[in-house]
Chain A
Amino acid sequence: MTALWARHCSTKIWSRHRLAGDEGGKTLLYIDRVVVDDVRAPQVLKNLERRALAIRRPDLSVVVQDHSVPSFQTHSGLGGNDFVDATRVAAHRHGLRLLDVGDAEQGISHVVMPELGLVLPGSTYLCVDSHSPTVGGVGALGLACGSSELEHALATQAMWVRKPRQMRVRLEGGLDDGVYAKDVILHLIGRLGLDAARGIALEFAGGLIASLSVEARLTLCNMAVELGARTSIVAPDETTFAWLATSPHAPRADLWRRAHDQWRDLRSDGDARFDVELEIDCAGLAPQITWGTTPAQVASVAGHVPDTAAQAGLDEAIWRRALGYMDLTPGTCLAGTRINRVFIGSCTNARFGDLEIAARIVTGRKIADGVKAVVVPGSRAVGRRAQEHGLRDIFEDAGFLWGEPGCSMCAGGGGEKVTAGERIVSTTNRNFEGRQGAGVRTHLASPATAAAAAIKGEICDPRPLVQER
């Protein structure tokens, strides 16, 4: 715990949670919150029983129903609700807090945990899902793991982690109206590639970050995973604290004051040294959309599908395969490409602010003929608030379907099927082949770009639609 290296925001959290080091090059970290999702819960909890292992801190663990929650009453979830049912049974048997389908606090893990104050600045968070670093948006250290590591964490409340290298990305410049955090992170992934932050703790900083809402920061940290980041964080500031102050499980009164005092010290020291440092000027950035089958295959909406593999910076075979899968011709303009579907949802972009952004474009309009558009709030709380503010009516009046909170169409667990060959603009984080269903062509974009595509029936720049309001 020498002051010399405990200087970045994430190393401050790291060193405060360090239990033992450094066996096999790894550090044993205490994990404050362990989260089990409904895809993994049935098997992981059964394995613990088989291994006769007790859960060390059931009071600090949370089970969520998200991946396999049916999006509509007419649908069934994964395995015809097998996962939802088995998760419920297993959570009850182990005395774990369950955010169950229909509960006021239910939602996608990485949406509800920060929103409810179940994960706090300066804490460590482990979820058996790759997008755990999302919680960096509130200044927590989020780590992802597989099922076996989760069993270990439930039994020990600790995890062995290799110390990440440190990277800081300073985002400067203001964003145009109609351009959002999602565009920034897509642009960044396109520029840096899927491997740029592997084994790295990535901190977002700079003037733009200071001006962004917590929700926008959560979006950035969420998709930093697509850069390969081990974890990502925005140092918590007064914006974070104000956002958390009203959350139902945040500490209160005297405890809040004590916590607040400590949280203010979490920001990286002025002279902290990072292994990699980068500055990106976001002024003038255009809305972004993916054209290929990874989040790094991205261009601005007014841009073109790369003419050649070299231009795309890809191997010939991979480039051809991506274009073949997406059914796009080299050199075509992305704007104007007809679409069949729109999905606004997921742990990337289904918070209240995201729905507000989309609603600004949808208000008073109708979705294009032949387009099926779905909006699924990231949590029940988001859904309630959206309803209170009239957003649900705006979406439904425009012809959107409004689904039950959960991951829904992000990974195809909500029961809403998309047909092979259909083209969808989606606010999710992965456009891998088959991610949203076999043969489904996914274009990742911001809620604004997705909403605009629903209205126009084609990929388009959302800015004119925003500005018309």
Chain B
Amino acid sequence: MEKFASVRGAAAPLLIDDINTDQIAPVQFMRALEPDYEKALFARWRGDPNAPFVLDEQRFRRAPILVAGSNFGCGSAREVAVWALAAHGVRCIVARSFSEVYRESLLKNGMLPVVLNPALRSDFEARVVAADGQAPFEVDLAAYRITCPDGAAFAFGMDAGERTALLEGLDDVAMTLRHRSLIDAWEKQTALHQPWLQQITATD
């Protein structure tokens, strides 16, 4: 997995609640085995000349930071909705909250989900809107800190294990297989006490 240490660049505001994965990556763009993920990104919201989409505006074109509302990534579990943002260059999403499945998929792709303390959110979001892509923000995972262009710093929290996995780009499967003996033991026990879970009964 790709390591995540820090990113520096524009922070694009997309302050809408309940943005779902059908919006982030519409299903029509999954119609090929190897789709163009970047083309899928918010495909139905982009290209409207009257309402330019934030990530299409010149100053946000390669914004590595996206700032969103609550329940970001709800709906379908499709991981293309993560890959599409990654293909556009987004590495960190600061949201009021995330759908859990989406958040896990971000972590598995070496991307950083940040949820700020509720007391700090409005202040931070106001600074993102005020900066308007003209000056860089910096997200530093090692320091658990986002620094705004004016120097204001916002601390955020994250579980130590998740952070280490991101900082070191750990292989998730290898990590879990350190517990291989527990998995072996569980299967052996269960085969005795709940054998129907350890086999699929054949039809007559």
Which residue numbers of A lie inside 8 Å of B, CB to CB?
Answer: 17, 19-20, 23-26, 28, 30, 32, 39, 42-43, 51, 53, 56, 59-60, 78-79, 82-83, 86, 97, 117-118, 120, 122-123, 128-130, 144-149, 151-152, 155-158, 160, 162, 194-195, 198-199, 228, 230, 248-252, 255, 259, 262, 294, 315, 318, 411-413, 430, 432-435, 437-438
Q: Which of A19, A23, A130, A294 contacts B183 (CB 8 A)?
A: A19
Contact with A along B60-93 (1 / 0, CB 8 A): 0000000000110011111100100000000000
- Expressed in whole angstroms, the minimum distance between the Cβ of A75 and any Cβ of chain B is 13
- The residue of chain B having its C-beta at the shortest distance from the C-beta of A194 within the complex is B18
Contact A146 B33 (CB under 8 A): no
- The residue of chain B having its C-beta at the shortest distance from the C-beta of A296 within the complex is B18
- Expressed in whole angstroms, the minimum distance between the Cβ of B32 and any Cβ of chain A is 5
Contact A255 B196 (CB under 8 A): yes
Contact A413 B27 (CB under 8 A): yes
Contact A158 B200 (CB under 8 A): no
B22 lies within 8 A of chain A by Cβ: yes
Residues of chain B with a CB closer than 8 A to A160's CB: 176
B57 lies within 8 A of chain A by Cβ: no
Contact B77 A146 (CB under 8 A): yes
Residues of chain A with a CB closer than 8 A to B104's CB: 145-146, 149
Contact B176 A158 (CB under 8 A): yes
Contact with A along B170-204 (1 / 0, CB 8 A): 00110011010011001100100011111111111
Contact B179 A20 (CB under 8 A): yes
Contact A118 B75 (CB under 8 A): no
A160 to B108 alpha-carbon distance, docked (Å): 12
Q: Assuming A79-B32, A250-B196, what are 11 further A-B pairs, CB within 8 angstroms? A: A78-B31, A97-B200, A122-B197, A146-B101, A148-B105, A152-B172, A157-B183, A195-B70, A250-B201, A259-B194, A430-B75
- Known contacts: A198-B71, A262-B194, A433-B23. The answer to whether A146 contacts B105 by CB under 8 A is yes
- Expressed in whole angstroms, the minimum distance between the Cβ of B39 and any Cβ of chain A is 15
B56 lies within 8 A of chain A by Cβ: no
Contact A248 B203 (CB under 8 A): yes
- Expressed in whole angstroms, the minimum distance between the Cβ of B47 and any Cβ of chain A is 12
Contact A155 B173 (CB under 8 A): yes
Residues of chain B with a CB closer than 8 A to A146's CB: 77-79, 82, 101-102, 104-105, 108
- Known contacts: A24-B161, A248-B203, A413-B27. The answer to whether A432 contacts B75 by CB under 8 A is yes
Contact A78 B30 (CB under 8 A): yes
B3 lies within 8 A of chain A by Cβ: no
- Expressed in whole angstroms, the minimum distance between the Cβ of A19 and any Cβ of chain B is 5
16 A-B pairs (CB sep. < 8 Å) = A19-B186, A23-B161, A78-B30, A83-B33, A146-B77, A146-B104, A147-B105, A148-B109, A149-B105, A198-B74, A228-B71, A259-B196, A412-B27, A432-B20, A433-B22, A438-B44
A13 to B17 alpha-carbon distance, docked (Å): 33
- The residue of chain A having its C-beta at the shortest distance from the C-beta of B194 within the complex is A262
Contact A230 B176 (CB under 8 A): no
A30 to B78 alpha-carbon distance, docked (Å): 23
The 5 A-B pairs of least Cβ separation, nearest first, read A24-B161, A148-B108, A146-B105, A146-B79, A24-B159
Residues of chain B with a CB closer than 8 A to A162's CB: 100
Q: Which of A30, A59, A79, A151 contacts B173 (CB 8 A)?
A: A151
Residues of chain A with a CB closer than 8 A to B79's CB: 146-148
Residues of chain B with a CB closer than 8 A to A151's CB: 173
Contact A432 B22 (CB under 8 A): yes
B26 lies within 8 A of chain A by Cβ: yes
Residues of chain A with a CB closer than 8 A to B26's CB: 434, 438
Q: Which of B22, B105, B173, B196 contacts A434 (CB 8 A)?
A: B22
- Expressed in whole angstroms, the minimum distance between the Cβ of B19 and any Cβ of chain A is 10
Contact A198 B173 (CB under 8 A): no
A433 to B75 alpha-carbon distance, docked (Å): 12
B168 lies within 8 A of chain A by Cβ: no
Contact B176 A156 (CB under 8 A): yes
Contact B75 A130 (CB under 8 A): yes
B1-30 interface with A by 8 A CB criterion:
16-18, 20, 22-23, 26-28, 30
- Expressed in whole angstroms, the minimum distance between the Cβ of B51 and any Cβ of chain A is 10
Contact A156 B200 (CB under 8 A): no
A246 to B31 alpha-carbon distance, docked (Å): 38
A17 to B204 alpha-carbon distance, docked (Å): 29
Contact A145 B16 (CB under 8 A): no
Contact B179 A19 (CB under 8 A): yes
Contact A411 B77 (CB under 8 A): no
- The residue of chain A having its C-beta at the shortest distance from the C-beta of B173 within the complex is A155
Contact B161 A194 (CB under 8 A): no
A43 to B77 alpha-carbon distance, docked (Å): 15
- Known contacts: A24-B160, A155-B173. The answer to whether A438 contacts B28 by CB under 8 A is yes
Q: Which of B77, B177, B196 contacts A130 (CB 8 A)?
A: B77
Residues of chain B with a CB closer than 8 A to A433's CB: 22-23, 44
Q: Which of B31, B32, B108, B201 contacts A149 (CB 8 A)?
A: B108
- The residue of chain A having its C-beta at the shortest distance from the C-beta of B102 within the complex is A146
Contact B179 A432 (CB under 8 A): no
Q: Which of A82, A130, A158 contacts B32 (CB 8 A)?
A: A82
B119-164 interface with A by 8 A CB criterion:
159-162
Q: Which of B22, B97, B172, B182 contacts A19 (CB 8 A)?
A: B182
A20 to B177 alpha-carbon distance, docked (Å): 12
Contact A194 B186 (CB under 8 A): no
- Expressed in whole angstroms, the minimum distance between the Cβ of B128 and any Cβ of chain A is 18
Residues of chain A with a CB closer than 8 A to B161's CB: 23-26
